[in-house]
């Protein structure tokens, strides 16, 4: 049997472990699949649709019923891929779930990621104030976490937003902060991205020397990271800045290398449009107009695939400039107006401004009108830039203010918590002290009580010893009285009366008759001793109860009736006078004598209870009964009634002939 139990237990454990291993294996396999699809989705060698499909497959495998760190990480990766792929519908879906789970667990790192991705969404959709707001929120969390790499990255993104709204001073400050942080890390990729962004700021601010300095510094780091996209970006931007500096040979060198690099490695195809645009600008300066026209058209064709409006606008303005040089005014005006229309459609004020500048040059008939519009647009641009800068400043202030209020709230919370804990500890300490003192008092009380109990016990022992000594003394006294008094008198009387056995004459009889008074004297002396003994017997409660029990036991031995004694156990017999106890005992004796003699009863019940201030007794038998009207004047009954009357009590005697008899009495205790 034992072996069978062991076998069953082993099988159960094997199944359990097998299930756990299977579950673990399935879980690991599922995670491996998610990671595989995430890697495929981020691989830019696949088509846009393929990457989207891989990302959605990864999302479908995430167990959204859970909310652990792994699930939140996978959600952040899926959301980032949706952002990179600009799949806004799926981005909103995964982003909302990511935020909900991160916020539920107060996951600071994932909340920071969520705000960064949200900022990226608004940046791509050119809602720059919202982008700035979310990047600022992400920045605060990364500062709290002291993650220089992530903080540098979000500062770079924030600086690009400032650059896009022409807040060059703010962009320079933010990007310089990002550069400082990223230099402390080993993330050369992000550092290269920051350096190129700083170069763009200086290029747009017409600080070409500073721009080229940052471009070349970042370009030197490219050997460490081998990133084709960054390399092409650097080559293109360096070529563009050398073109501005009229260093045509260097400009050609870098732009040609950029174009060759796009062809050698798989990169984002929109690089062609940028490179063609910069090459076209260079060809205009080199007076190679025919090549410039071709390159502008190629740039527009490439940029239209990706709706890269700033470059499309620039290329159209370049074509307008080309046709102006070629003295084709109609075409020059056409492309300038086209640039203006695209600028208005894409809501790019600086494009409208540049288009109007070109129209002022090529459309002389409408120069005055275009000049007025240019002034309005330029004022609007300046106002818009000021509004953006003010809005960014307000967002930054409000974010700092919220953070400050949060920190103050946390500080106040800690202070309140500290005070509460301090008060609690004081209260606990006082409670412990009070409890200890109470226990000490209780212990002292117990010790005092124990000592008092010991003293009482010693007193009781002493009293018992004294009582026993008195009892023995009394017994000796009675023995002496019986022996020396009564026995001697009885012996003397016996001897005096013995003479009657020898002589029976009149003189002898008369002489002996004188000794009868001696017998009466002896009787009186015996009665006196007996009375003293009775008084002693009924002094103690237990002695009285024992005496009744002994009497009942004796009746059960000597009579034909079965006697039952019912006593209320909580009667305080010590408080009941000896006189009452003696009379109760005598009534029991008298009633028992009558029952044994006349009733022929089989069962007798003697019941004694205490009812308030009265002690009550009933004696009931199931005998033949009697006529109470005839027997009521008997001596025994009269004695009972007399005893009860002397004690101010009440007695009733009820009898049913051939059935039963009951004697009921009540005696006041006090």
Residues recorded for the chain? 670
Is residue 278, in this structure, part of any structural domain at all?
yes
Residue 108: partners with Cβ closer than 8 Å, 6 or more residues away? 141, 144, 145
Residues 476, 415, single domain; the answer is: yes
Query: Residue 619: inside a domain, yes or no?
Result: yes
Q: List the one residue out of 118, 165, 206 whose CA is nearest residue 390.
A: 165
- d(Cα 246, Cα 467) in Å, to the nearest integer? 138
Q: Are residues 632 and 554 in the same domain?
A: yes
pLDDT tens column, 53-109: 999 999 999 999 999 999 999 999 999 999 989 999 999 999 999 999 999 999 999
Domain boundary among 520, 537, 554: 537
Instruction: Using alpha carbons, select from 142, 143, 120 the residue that is nearest to residue 130.
Output: 120
Q: Pick from 222, 253, 287: which residue ends a domain?
A: 287
What confidence tens digit (pLDDT) does each residue in 454-512 have? 666 566 566 666 666 766 766 655 665 565 446 645 755 765 677 667 777 877 777 77
pLDDT at 394: 60
Say if 249 falls within a structural domain: yes
* In-domain check, residue 573: yes
Token pair 């016990």 is found at: 457
Q: Looking at residue 572, what is its pLDDT?
A: 86
Phi, psi angles (nearest 5°) of residue 656: -115, 120
**Structural domain ending residue among the three candidates 537, 572, 596:** 537
> How many domains would you assign to the chain?
4
600 inside domain: yes
pLDDT value of residue 405: 59
Instruction: Note whether 579 and 474 are same-domain residues.
Output: no
Burial class of residue 135 in the structure, from the number of CB atoms within 10 Å of its CB (0-12 exposed, 13-18 middle, 19+ buried): buried
Q: Helix, strand, coil proportions of the chain in percent (round to 5)? A: 80, 5, 15
Q: Are residues 245 and 344 in the same domain?
A: no
Same domain (yes/no): 457, 557: no
Whether 311 and 350 share a structural domain: yes
| 277/312 same-domain check | no
Residues 275 and 336 in one domain: no
For residue 551, what is the domain's CATH number? 3.30.565.10
Residue 281 sits in the same domain as residue 313: no
Terminal CA-CA length for the chain? 77
Q: Are β-strands 650-656 and 660-668 bridged in parallel, bridged antiparallel, or unpaired?
A: antiparallel
Note whether 475 and 571 are same-domain residues: no
Could you tell me if residue 98 is inside a domain?
A: no
Q: Which residues contact 278 (CB under 8 A, 6 or more apart)?
A: 236, 239, 240, 243, 251, 255
Q: Mark whether 532 and 545 lie in a shared domain.
A: no
Token pair of 53 as six digits: 């499909």
Q: Is there a domain that residue 511 lies in?
A: yes
The domain in which residue 258 lies consists of: 232-287
Query: Do 318 and 355 have their domain in common?
Result: yes
Show the low-confidence residues of the chain (pLDDT under 50).
1-2, 4-9, 11-19, 23-25, 265-267, 484-485, 488
pLDDT value at position 2? Answer: 42
Taking alpha carbons only, the member of 360, 354, 358, 353 closest to residue 384 is 353
Tell me, yes or no, whether 197 lies in a domain.
no
């Amino acid at each position: 049997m034992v072996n069978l139990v062991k076998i069953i237990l082993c099988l159960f454990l094997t199944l359990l472990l097998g299930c756990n291993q299977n579950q673990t294996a399935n879980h690991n396999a599922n995670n491996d699949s998610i990671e595989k699809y995430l890697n495929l989705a981020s691989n830019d060698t696949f088509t846009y649709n393929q990457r989207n499909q891989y990302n959605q497959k990864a999302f479908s495998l995430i167990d959204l019923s859970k909310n652990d760190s792994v699930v939140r990480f996978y959600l952040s990766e899926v959301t980032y891929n949706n952002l990179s792929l600009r799949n806004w519908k799926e981005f909103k879906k995964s982003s909302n779930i990511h935020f909900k789970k991160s916020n539920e667990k107060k996951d600071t790192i994932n909340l920071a990621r969520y705000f960064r991705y949200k900022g990226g969404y608004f940046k791509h959709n050119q809602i720059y104030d919202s982008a700035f707001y979310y990047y600022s929120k992400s920045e605060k969390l990364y500062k709290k976490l002291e993650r220089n790499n992530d903080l540098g990255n979000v500062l770079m993104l924030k600086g690009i937003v400032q650059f896009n709204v022409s807040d060059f001073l703010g962009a320079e400050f933010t990007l310089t902060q990002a550069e400082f942080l990223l230099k402390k890390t080993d993330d050369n990729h992000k550092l290269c991205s920051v350096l190129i962004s700083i170069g763009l700021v200086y290029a747009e601010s017409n600080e070409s020397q500073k721009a080229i300095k940052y471009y070349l510094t970042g370009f030197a780091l490219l050997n460490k990271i081998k990133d084709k996209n960054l390399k092409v970006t650097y080559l293109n931007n360096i070529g563009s800045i050398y073109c501005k500096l009229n260093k045509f040979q260097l400009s050609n060198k870098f732009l040609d290398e950029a174009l060759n690099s796009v062809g050698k490695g798989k990169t984002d195809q929109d690089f062609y449009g940028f490179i063609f645009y910069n090459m076209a600008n260079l060809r205009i300066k080199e007076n190679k107009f025919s090549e410039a026209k071709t390159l502008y058209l190629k740039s527009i064709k490439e940029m239209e695939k990706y709706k890269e409006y700033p470059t499309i606008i620039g290329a159209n303005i370049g074509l307008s400039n080309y046709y102006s040089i070629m003295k084709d005014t109609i075409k020059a005006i056409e492309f300038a107006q086209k640039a203006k229309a695209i600028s208005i459609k894409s809501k790019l004020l600086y494009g409208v401004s540049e288009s109007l500048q070109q129209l002022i040059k090529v459309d002389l008939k409408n120069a005055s009108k275009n000049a007025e519009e240019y002034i309005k647009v330029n004022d609007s641009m300046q106002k818009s830039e000021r509004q953006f800068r003010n809005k960014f400043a307000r967002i930054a202030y409000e974010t700092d203010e919220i953070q400050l209020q949060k920190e103050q709230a946390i500080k106040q919370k800690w202070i309140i918590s500290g005070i509460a804990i301090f008060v609690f500890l004081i209260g606990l300490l006082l409670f412990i002290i009070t409890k200890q003192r109470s226990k000490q008092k209780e212990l002292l009380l117990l010790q005092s009580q124990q000592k008092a109990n010991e003293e009482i016990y010693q007193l009781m022992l002493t009293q018992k010893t004294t009582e026993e000594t008195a009892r023995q003394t009394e017994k000796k006294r009675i023995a002496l009285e019986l022996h020396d008094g009564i026995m001697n008198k009885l012996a003397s009387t016996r001897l005096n009366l013995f003479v009657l056995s020898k002589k029976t004459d009149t003189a002898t009889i008369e002489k002996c008759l004188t000794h009868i008074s001696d017998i009466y004297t002896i009787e009186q002396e015996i009665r006196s001793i007996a009375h003293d003994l009775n008084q002693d017997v009924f002094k103690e409660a237990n002695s009285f109860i024992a005496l009744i029990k002994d009497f009942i036991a004796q009746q059960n031995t000597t009579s034909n009736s079965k006697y039952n004694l019912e006593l209320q156990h909580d009667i305080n017999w010590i408080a009941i006078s000896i006189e009452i106890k003696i009379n109760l005992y005598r009534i029991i004796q008298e009633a028992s004598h009558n029952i044994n003699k006349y009733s022929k009863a089989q069962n007798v019940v003697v019941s004694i209870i205490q009812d308030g201030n009265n002690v009550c007794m009933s004696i009931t038998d199931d005998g033949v009964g009697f006529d109470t009207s005839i027997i009521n004047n008997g001596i025994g009954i009269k004695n009972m009634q007399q005893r009860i009357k002397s004690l101010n009590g009440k007695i009733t005697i009820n009898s049913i002939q051939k059935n039963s008899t009951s004697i009921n009495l009540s005696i006041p205790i006090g």
